[in-house]
Amino acid sequence: MSTVLADPVEMIRKGAPRLIRNDRELAEYTNRLFELTKKSHPRVDEIEAIKLLTLLVDRYESERYPLRDADPVDVLRYLLEANGLSQRDIAADLGSESTVSLVLSGKRRLNRDHIERLSRRFHVSPAVFFQRTA
C-alpha cells in the first residue's frame, strides 16, 4: 500500500478534509477554497488542496442543490438579454425574424444549423441548446 494512504483514519483524525455533511461545513470549505485561490503563486500542496476542496464542494452542491436542465428557449432568452440583443439581432442566425419569434414562443424547435450558429455567436457549447427529454 502507498505510504501516502498508509493510515487514512489517522489522517481524518488529524483534520484532513472529509465529505461535506451540511451547509455550515460547505461554508467553511468554500471560504477556505476562496482563500487558497486568491494566492497569486500557490505552492504544489496548495494546488492539490484546491483540487480536493473543489471536488468536495462540487459533490455536496450537486447532491444537495441539483440543477435542472435549462430549456433551450430559456437559454436563448437569457443570452439575448445578457448581451443586450433583440430578436432582430439574431434573425440572420435563425433565418428570419419570424423563425426567431416561432422559436421563442415554443412553436418551433432549434435545428442543427441554428444551434451551430448560436453556439458560435454566443461562445457557448451547442449542448446548452439541446432539448432534454425526461
Count of alpha carbons within 13 angstroms of residue 91, beta-carbon side: 8
Domains of the chain (ranges plus CATH)? 8-64 (no CATH), 72-129 (1.10.260.40)
The predicted pLDDT at position 14 comes to: 87
The predicted pLDDT at position 9 comes to: 85
Spatial separation of the C-alpha atoms in residues 70 and 48, rounded to whole Å:
32
The predicted pLDDT at position 20 comes to: 96
* pTM for this prediction: 0.54
The predicted pLDDT at position 34 comes to: 94
Distances (CA, A) of 33 to 4, 71, 73, 81, 129: 22, 32, 35, 32, 32
Per-10-residue mean pLDDT for the chain, 134 residues long?
A: 72 89 96 94 94 95 86 94 96 95 95 95 91 63
